[in-house]
Amino acid sequence: MIAILIGIAVGLIAAKTSSVHIPPGYSIYVAMGILAAMDSVFGGFGSYMSKNFRLKIFVTGLFSNAAIAVGLIYLGNLLGIDLSIAVIVVFGSRIIQNFAIIRRLLLNKFEKKDTIKGRKN
């Protein structure tokens, strides 16, 4: 858990201090790739909390989700259709769903356990 927070902090610091400029024509691709990656991170964190995390699934999901999102945007641009809305809706709803799972897991983890067991008559 601490490694995840450290990774997020390092990524944010690197993004703020870097002088990388993304051309306006590519900004939609980068934004959709980041959205897909965030979906994978939230899904990975939820599976980590439910003790079901597998690194191979996380890494392949991270890159394939980003590739699919960017590919859909590229295909939409070739066809003259704005598919960014579809990508935003799909990955946005998945992020919200993954966040709800994480929230439930956290609430169940810190919920006071009832120590009274059922009595036999």
What does the pLDDT look like over 54-101, one tens digit per residue? 999 999 999 999 999 999 999 999 999 999 999 999 999 999 999 999
* Res 16: pLDDT: 87
Amino acid at 33: G
pLDDT for 115: 57
* Per-residue pLDDT at 120 exceeds 70: no
Residue 42: count of CB within 10 angstroms of its CB:
20
**DSSP, res 117:** P
Does residue 28 carry a pLDDT above 80? yes
Q: Are 33 and 70 in contact (CB under 8 A)?
A: yes
Please state, for a pLDDT cut of 70, what percent of the chain lies above it.
90
> Which of 121, 120, 68 is closest to 94 using CA atoms?
68
Alpha helices in 18-118 (DSSP H): 27-49, 55-79, 84-110
Domain-by-domain residue ranges, the chain? 23-108
Contacts for 63-68: CB closer than 8 Å, 24+ residues apart: 65/36, 65/37, 65/39, 65/40, 65/91, 66/33, 66/36, 66/37, 66/40, 68/36
C-alpha 69/C-alpha 91 separation (Å) is: 9
